[in-house]
């Protein structure tokens, strides 16, 4: 039986994408960290090795929204749509759900890659995440996280400090 995954990477580079090799139902898996520069107009260039996948899967149409108080999420538009539908089908009578809808859907912005592979991060989203010039784009499976590079370094510092009692019970017995 042949391997159902085709690994695409840039010879020793930090980024990789795993896609099902069969037909139209390609599953994108984004991974790795790339430091990027945001230009004076608020644009950043998506890494070249992801552009073909994002154009093929979403015609270059992406959605950028909030996540934690420190980062943004970037989805291919077709991957965002079911998430948005699930969120909006939740009861708005619960103030916590309504707050989450306001954050995730209210801030969600449709962006499109230009011919140079750049996307414009809207000013309200840059302000929310504290993005100025240097950013870290982090592959997280079917989406990316976009961090201010200083906040990303702080986040990773906290993650590295997790030991024993600091680990969630779901990770008990998990081994790499």
* pLDDT score recorded for residue 165: 60
* pLDDT score recorded for residue 175: 76
* pLDDT score recorded for residue 166: 67
pTM of the predicted model as reported, rounded to 2 decimal places = 0.81
Share of the chain above pLDDT 90, in %: 68
Residue 11 exposed, middle or buried by CB count within 10 Å (0-12, 13-18, 19+): exposed
Q: Is the pLDDT of residue 1 over 60?
A: no
Q: Is the pLDDT of residue 27 over 70?
A: no
Closest residue by Cα to residue 66 from 115, 112, 100: 100
**Residue 61 bridge partners (DSSP):** 112
Q: Domains of the chain by range and CATH?
A: 33-161 (3.40.1550.20)
pLDDT for 85-143, tens place per residue?
Answer: 999 999 989 999 999 999 999 999 999 999 999 999 999 999 999 999 999 999 999 99
């Amino acid at each position: 039986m042949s391997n159902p995954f085709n690994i695409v990477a840039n010879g020793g580079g930090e980024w990789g994408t795993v896609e099902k090799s069969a037909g139209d139902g390609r599953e994108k898996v984004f991974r790795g960290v790339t430091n990027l520069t945001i230009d004076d107009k608020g644009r950043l260039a998506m890494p070249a090795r992801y552009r073909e996948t994002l154009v093929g899967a979403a015609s270059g149409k992406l959605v950028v929204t909030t996540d934690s108080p420190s980062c943004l999420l970037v989805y291919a538009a077709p991957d965002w749509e079911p998430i948005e539908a699930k969120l909006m089908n939740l009861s708005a009578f619960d103030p916590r759900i309504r707050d989450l809808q306001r954050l995730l859907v209210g801030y969600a912005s449709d962006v499109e890659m230009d011919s140079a592979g750049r996307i414009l991060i809207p000013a309200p989203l840059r302000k929310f995440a504290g993005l100025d010039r240097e950013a870290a784009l982090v592959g997280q499976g079917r989406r990316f996280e976009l961090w201010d590079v200083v906040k990303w370094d702080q986040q990773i510092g906290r993650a590295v400090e997790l030991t024993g009692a600091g680990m969630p019970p779901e990770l008990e017995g998990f081994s790499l």
